Structure 1
Amino acid sequence: MAEARCAVHEPRVEKLKESEEFKQNIFREWRRSTARRFYRTRYTYTQAGKWGDLVIDPLRKKIHTCDFIGLPNCIRAFITSVIVGFWFFIVLLYFRRYFLRCLLSYRGWMYEQPKTQSISTILWGLSIKLVSGYHPKLYSCQRSLPRMPVPPLQETIGKLLESIKPLYAQNDKKWIAIQKEAEEFQRTIGPQLQWILVFKSWWSPNYVTDWEKYVYLMGRTPTPINSNYYIMDQEHFRPSTHQTARTSSAISQFLKFKQLCDHETLEPLRIRNTVPVCMKQYERMYSTSRVPGEDIDYLVHYDSKHSKHLAVLRKGIIYKMDVYDKFGKLLTAIEIKKQLEWIIKDADIHEDDCSESEKLLPALTGIERADWAKSRSQYFSHGVNKDSLDIVERAIFFVVLDWRSFKSMSERATFLMCGDGQSIWFDKTFTLISFSDGRIGLNCEHSFADAPILAHMAEFNYTNEALKIVQFDDHGNLIPTPEDEQKFFVTKPQRLVWEVTSDLNVVLQSAKTVNLKNKDDLDLCVREHESYGKGFMKSCKVSPDAYIQMALQVTYFKNAGKFALTYESSMTRLYLHGRTETVRSLTTDSVEFVRAFLDKSISHDEKLRLLQKACNRHQGSYRDAMSGRGIDRHLFALYVVSKGMGKESSFLKDALTIPWELSTSQQPQQQFASSPDCSLPQYKNFLCPGGGFGPVSDDGYGVSYMIPGDAKVFFHVSAKKSVKETDATLFMNQLFETLQEMKELFSKK
């Protein structure tokens, strides 16, 4: 029967084999068997140790878990939606980050006036706000910031030669030699260094990452005047004349600003309230110290868990003052005030008990860095001195309760810059200096961050004082808040103990002598110009910054009888880890304007035309610097690469060693978008003059200025008294004369 059945169905089997369906089934079965053999072979190979269970097992598990065998449909749907939602969130996160980076790479908006922006730029700005959010966190835009591009080598060298051309006569042998060096550099080592720099820009957050190390931390000269700078409080306004009330209020506001940074609730700064900038420099604003080394310094930042106190100096005695109670709660301003009053009382009692040598300890931070490093290693590496020094360096910041006061802004600024030779701890990121009349100010270390960062913190306090968020009564006392009714478990301030040997005493006396010598050599003049402001300069249809820069060019020529290579600081924080760039204000156009302005035979209209031309040129250079198309950071990075390769370049060395005889900087007045307009009449006396710095070149000037509103301009001019050719007061007088002459130039229009 079986053979008969087979014989009956044999024709059908043959037909089935010949059919297309049978062929497809055979092919499908072959593919499955091949896949099984492949996975068996691969799994055996992985078991040998190369791939491991990480290759096949997770894949098989995923296949099986996707079925969720044995689970109800609702649970399977929930798990599937969670998995899909998670991966969708990750994809959306990365898409947002890179899309925002593409948007932020656009720089065309910078070359358009805010009132005449194109439709495409407006749509671009709306897209940024939509993607970044209307209230972003402090560091939420960091990963979306573009990396700073490396400018073309030929473009940088061309701009360099154009900027130094006014310093030399056309047929000067030195100028001809510089041109030849530039051509040789572009033919030989230049392109190789450029390629290395481009490769570095691909993997490094910023190709100028060595700036902090080589420019600041490797500097061996004393930091006061040469590196550190100062910030003043308001020109006329004082919320209180009581020293402890004003100081405790400022300390409380600075600590609240710290909380905003720690919790990342402070919004990032945004240009035109749209474009975010890099906020990395805010990470080390508090609890950071610059530690000296014989060859190079380094920065040490302490976590908030280990830094909950201030170092307070009163009459040469240093105290540790906790600003958090035993349970980690931040003290109120009134509680801080009680601590400061206790310190003042204790210091006045024990002033005579403290040796004169011990009072000189802060002077060590103001001497040559290598000398301070040797003294630190010899006298502060063990015992009680090491413990006390550690407390100072771990402090959130340093506070000086001084017993003096100064009437003029110039005298007060001089003290803020370099103190009395033994009061300021220059290695802390900033020192809050309090005067007996309720005035305050800051001395700031420069390596960790640029001036606008600490100016942002100072503005937070000054704005809250102006808006009376910090409240004082009619007698200048702090008004209690509901928080003051709470109970705080506070420890008393601790007086630091030091062991001063006879050898250390000699070092301290020498350090004070060095500090006083540098202080006495500083020539500083601070003044306001009340008949000028942004309003008038904008009515001249030029950039206010460019207007001031042209006035400085005229003034320097009057003062020195020559032109000087001019440094103006600009930021590059539109890029990740960006800091500053140099705007070279001296140009062939500015030289042409200066000569014409001082030539009485030149017509009035021609002078105006040349001024307009020079200002437009300067504004374009400023925008290029902010856009990563500057000169000096590119040259500096090329020089660092050449040193790393062991190749000398006389062209780069000569280009970077030309002295900046005129170093300038404009300070930001308002960095908080919520701050009131400082041009309003009711805030006229609440304006802060900003701060200043020392001259970069010994035979030059350092000029800092702030244009706070439509009515005033503040100037800080510094020089060295030991150089007979410079005089800060004379330069200031000539500058005011120039500004008046330029104003008359437009009034005759």
Structure 2
Amino acid sequence: MAEAHQAVGFRPSLTSDGAEVELSAPVLQEIYLSGLRSWKRHLSRFWNDFLTGVFPASPLSWLFLFSAIQLAWFLQLDPSLGLMEKIKELLPDWGGQHHGLRGVLAAALFASCLWGALIFTLHVALRLLLSYHGWLLEPHGAMSSPTKTWLALVRIFSGRHPMLFSYQRSLPRQPVPSVQDTVRKYLESVRPVLSDEDFDWTAVLAQEFLRLQASLLQWYLRLKSWWASNYVSDWWEEFVYLRSRNPLMVNSNYYMMDFLYVTPTPLQAARAGNAVHALLLYRHRLNRQEIPPTLLMGMRPLCSAQYEKIFNTTRIPGVQKDYIRHLHDSQHVAVFHRGRFFRVGTHSRNSLLSPRALEQQFQRILDDPSPACPHEEHLAALTAAPRGTWAQVRTSLKTQAAEALEAVEGAAFFVSLDAEPAGLTREDPAASLDAYAHALLAGRGHDRWFDKSFTLIVFSNGKLGLSVEHSWADCPISGHMWEFTLATECFQLGYSTDGHCKGHPDPTLPQPQRLQWDLPDQIHSSISLALRGAKILSENVDCHVFPFSLFGKSFIRRCHLSSDSFIQIALQLAHFRDPQCLALFRVAVDKHQALLKAAMSGQGVDRHLFALYIVSRFLHLQSPFLTQVHSEQWQLSTSQIPVQQMHLFDVHHYPDYVSSGGGFGPADDHGYGVSYIFMGDDMVTFHISSKKSSTKTDSHRLGQHIEDALLDVASLFQAGQHFKRRFRGSGKENSRHRCGFLSRQTGASKASMTSTDF
């Protein structure tokens, strides 16, 4: 809901003639365009759609069916019940000389029609099966007979070895929730944080909305849901992200961290070589759809559409609205080092460069002594400027430096070779982690190309990180790619004993191409202003990261609670510090689980209210209730970083190779952004951000409250009462980082202490 506040300023610039046309034409046009975009996406990947569209069948199944029909025909049996004879009559006679060929063609046409009908039946059956959400409402660990039957049928109709997009045609449409249920859930959610007077006023506005406007707005949403595959996703992308005029840095982008305790090699170029190679291997698997689709709780496939834009993608600024530019392929990466830009090819004779060859290219950049040209060093600060400003400057830049700009925007992704080290240090673990997070989220304001789908950041000591642009996909997508990258570059590619990538350099490779920027004089002042704004924004961010290692997922399981709900309620306790007892805590956890499952089944509140609001703006309807909903300030924005590929990591032999997750900026000037990741069974790492300019927030203070809240909640359970005694007995001042960092260094070989949940 917090992100949707950016849509409050939306003003439809659509005009029409006549009162009746003015009421409906803009929204009908937008619904039509939404469906058109949806169908264009399907047509753009025709061949892959064909392979995945026939799933769970395959082209070989057509051959088998055709052969069976031919065999039956040879045995003088007619499985078509006369249809093939009618097809033969419709085919050209060709002078009666190719009677046998007409029979074969008739059999092929009949087999194709029968094959298509069977596949269509399978898709319809699977779509109906996947529309069932009763399994979400059942208690954890229990499964009713209807759900067992449903699961067996899903497995039968799902086939074997699905490709990434195999389920796309079988996924049910996003359901439009009942508007009465949505309003009721919204009022329930805001009741604890509003005064009696404010809540009564909100309830009055809600009833007025249900009486006057809700049915009309809901009708348009239902119309869109039947025409487009998702009634909200394209509007969410456009009005929440692409129409936002705020800088991307801090406000929209988020970051992903490297391993917390281990750096596989201290050589910057080597780490970059392996990481870039691993990322391109992931892209290769993505193009071949060899990545298995995500299954919710191992049962229900999720939409894979967001995977399409991981690579070769740039968000292009516009004066009123940005757009996402995605290329089919790109065989180079753009590299930034000490204020200079380079183009580094990733392929040689249609094959991917080896990690050692890529390391050689990155080392050449590091060894290049040439200085940055005037204003080139701070050029990328423009991507951290307000979007309208950057759009105007980019027009001049595209005219004067088209080739260099295309090399950056057309790259597979952006690579920043930072001149400073980063990561956890023994000398000052608290400050070093905070600085690491800040460097990934904001950098220096001019050393990231924030428009790219993601920037790979390689620090001088070999530490890695990602800065991700948000509009093209959500965190689970980039997180999936990042898990594969870390596991592949460490465990599959590996490093030699001297820290270099394995293999041998290639002396025949040409030098990396230095990009030349012919910067017109009129944009020099724009670069200076953008840099000044980026520095102000960067310096205003208060980042705090800490690993909480007194307990983790295993303890929460022993309490028979959802791990995510446990953390969410603890975060609420940390934020408000209300006293809670065990009974109330269980009620809160159960309520959070119910709301989570409702959202997973398409019955959430925020997207529905957001879509209703957008329709009201198209129709020029004033709804005080919807206006109030989207003007509220949400001071605590939280997110869990999911761990999706446990099989990629050998936690028994390499217990310290655990991901430390990532974070994002606060959604409100006086609020917090909090993300967390379960690092195995016995640790949770939190990433907290706020703005230093606010007198109401302090990231370190909230971190201490989170730690206290976790211990308070754990002490409600008999099995967790010793955690608080242990914590207080060790002293509060250093316990967090003594438990989280020093014990890892001295006890790294103990798998029980450092098990991970990959």
Same fold judged by TM-score > 0.5? yes
What SS does the aligned partner of 1:399 have?
Answer: strand
Matched ranges for 1:358-373 at <5 A: 358-373=376-391
Q: Relative to structure 1, is the Cα distance of residues 609 and 488 closer, same or farther in structure 2, using a 3 angstrom cutoff?
A: same
Partner of 1:126: 152
* 1:99 maps onto 2:73 in alignment: no
Q: Any idea what the Cα deviations from partners look like across 1:95-118, whole Å, max 9, x if unmatched?
A: 121111111111112223563222
2:749 is matched with which residue?
Answer: none
Q: Distance in 2 between matches of 1:370 and 1:73?
A: 69
Contact 1:523 1:721 in 2 (8 A): yes
Cα displacement (A) at 1:181: 1.2
Q: 1:430 matched to which residue of 2?
A: 454
Question: 1:652 aligns to what?
Answer: 626
Deviation per CA, 1:392-413: give whole Å up to 9, x if none: 1001100011111124221111
Matched, 1:504 2:528: no
Partner residue of 2:694 out of 708, 723, 736:
723
Q: Matches of 1:497 and 1:67 in 2, distance apart?
A: 67
Larger Rg: 1
Q: Does 1:473 align with 2:496?
A: yes
Q: Which residue does the alignment assign to 1:342?
A: 364
Moved more, 521-530 or 177-186: 177-186
**Aligned with residue 608 of structure 1, among 582, 606, 623:** 582
Paired with 1:729 and 1:628, the residues of 2 have a C-alpha distance of 36
Q: 1: distance between equivalents of 2:182 and 2:658? A: 39
Q: Is the 8 A contact 2:278 2:489 kept in 1?
A: no
Aligned to 1:603: none
Which among 312, 318, 321 is matched to residue 341 of structure 2? 318
Number of aligned positions between the proteins: 628
Q: CA deviation at 1:689?
A: 1.1
Checking the alignment, whether the CA contact within 8 Å between 1:322 and 1:491 is kept in structure 2 is: no
Aligned to 2:398: 381
Aligned match of 1:622 in 588, 591, 596? Answer: 596
CA distance in 2: counterparts of 1:475 and 1:123, whole angstroms: 56
Aligned-pair CA distance for 1:479: 2.0
**1:53-452 → structure 2 map (5 Å cutoff):** 63-65=89-91, 70=96, 78-113=104-139, 115-170=141-196, 172=197, 174-208=198-232, 209-304=234-329, 307-325=330-348, 327-346=349-368, 349-351=369-371, 354-377=372-395, 379-383=396-400, 385-406=401-422, 407=425, 408-452=432-476
**Is 2:614 the counterpart of 1:640?**
yes
For residue 84 of structure 1, report the CA deviation from its aligned partner. Answer: 2.4
* SS at structure 2 position matched to 1:286: coil
Distance in 2 between residues matched to 1:87 and 1:269, nearest whole Å? 31
Preserved CA contact (<8 Å) 2:398 2:405: no
- CA RMSD in angstroms comes to 2.2
Q: Deviations over 1:188-213 (max 9, x none)?
A: 11111111111111101111020000
Structure 1 SS opposite 2:537: helix
Give deviations 1:79-134, integer Å, cap 9, x for gaps: 44323221121112211211111111111122235632223323322322332223
8 Å CA contact 2:356, 2:500 repeated in 1: no
Deviation at 1:713, TM superposition (A): 0.2
CA separation in 2, counterparts of 1:740 and 1:145?
Answer: 42
SS at match of 1:628: coil
Change in Cα spacing, 1:315 to 1:182, as seen in structure 2 (3 Å) is: same
Q: Distance in 2 between matches of 1:207 and 1:511?
A: 37
Distance 1:381 1:404 in 2: 31
Task: Report the secondary structure of 1:704's partner residue.
Answer: strand
AA partner of residue 507 (structure 1): S
Of 636, 647, 650, 1:674 maps to: 647
Letter in 2 for 1:187: R
Distance in 1 between the 2:595 and 2:293 partners? 26
Alignment CA distance shift 1:272-1:673 (3 Å) = farther
**SS of equivalent to 2:714:** helix
Give the Cα separation in 2 of the matches to 1:196 and 1:245. 55
2:541 aligned partner: 522
1:729-740 pair list within 5 angstroms? 729-740=700-711
TM-score for the superposition, normalised by structure 2: 0.80
Aligned letter for 2:496? Answer: D
Q: Name the amino acid aligned to 1:270.
A: L
- Give yes or no for contact 1:705–1:713 (8 Å, CA) kept in 2: yes
SS at match of 2:256: strand
**Bigger mean CA offset, 519-528 vs 69-78:** 69-78
Partner Cα distance (2:258, 2:144) in 1: 40
Distance 1:489 1:177, change over 3 A: same
Quote how far apart the aligned CAs of 1:272 are: 2.9
**Could you say what secondary structure the match of 1:674 adopts?**
helix
Residue aligning to 2:728: none
1:62 shift after superposition? 5.1
1:710 aligns with 2:681: yes
Runs of 5+ consecutive residues of structure 1 not aligned to the other structure:
1-58, 559-593, 598-606
User: Match of 2:133, as an amino acid?
Assistant: R
**Equivalent residue number for residue 3 of structure 2:** none
Alpha-carbon spacing, 1:489–1:117, altered in 2? closer, same or farther (3 Å) = farther
Match among 717, 725, 731 for residue 746 of structure 1:
717
CA contact (8 A) 1:234 1:689 kept: yes
The superposition leaves residues 28-61 of structure 1 with CA deviations (integer Å, 9 ceiling, x where unpaired) of: xxxxxxxxxxxxxxxxxxxxxxxxxxxxxxx998
Call closer, same or farther: CA 1:522–1:78 in 2, change over 3 Å. Answer: same
CA distance 1:114–1:331, shift in 2 (3 Å): farther
Q: Do the aligned residues in 1 keep the contact of 2:453 with 2:472 (CA within 8 Å)?
A: yes
C-alpha distance in structure 1 between counterparts of 2:98 and 2:446, whole Å? 77
Paired letter, 1:443: S
Alpha-carbon offset, residue 630 of structure 1: 0.6
Q: Is the 8 A contact 1:239 1:465 kept in 2?
A: no
Runs of 5+ consecutive residues of structure 2 not aligned to the other structure: 1-84, 426-431, 722-758
State the alpha-carbon separation in 2 of the partners of residues 737 and 167 from structure 1: 22
Query: SS at the partner of 1:210?
Result: helix
In structure 2, the residue corresponding to 1:686 is in which secondary structure? coil
Match of 2:78 in 1: none
Give distance in 1, aligned partners of 2:306 and 2:417: 28
The secondary structure found in structure 2 opposite 1:443 is strand
- Per-residue deviation, 1:387: 2.0
Q: Residues 272, 61 of structure 1: CA spacing in aligned structure 2 closer, same or farther, 3 A cutoff?
A: closer
Q: CA deviation at 1:432?
A: 0.3
* Aligned partners of 1:217 and 1:296 also within 8 Å: yes
For 1:354-403, what per-residue CA distance to the aligned partner results, in whole angstroms no more than 9, with x for missing partners? Answer: 234111110100011111111112x21313x1221111100110001111
Q: What TM-score, normalized to structure 1?
A: 0.81
Q: Distance in 2 between matches of 1:80 and 1:67?
A: 13
Distance in 2, matches of 1:337 and 1:507, equals 35
Q: In the alignment, residue 504 of structure 1 is paired with which amino acid?
A: I
Q: Distance in 1 between matches of 2:141 and 2:181?
A: 31
Shift of 1:66: 9.3
How far apart in 1 are the matches of 2:389 and 2:433?
Answer: 33
In the aligned structure 2, how far is the partner of 1:333 from the partner of 1:243?
Answer: 13
Aligned partner letter, 2:151:
G
Separation in structure 2 between the aligned mates of residue 644 and residue 672 of structure 1, nearest angstrom: 42
SS of structure 1 residue aligned to 2:642? coil
Between the two proteins, what is the percent identity of the paired residues? 36
Distance 1:93 1:674, change over 3 A: farther
Letter of the 1:149 counterpart: P
Structure 1 residue 613, shift from structure 2 partner: 1.1
In structure 2, how many angstroms separate the alpha carbons of the residues matched to 1:298 and 1:83?
43
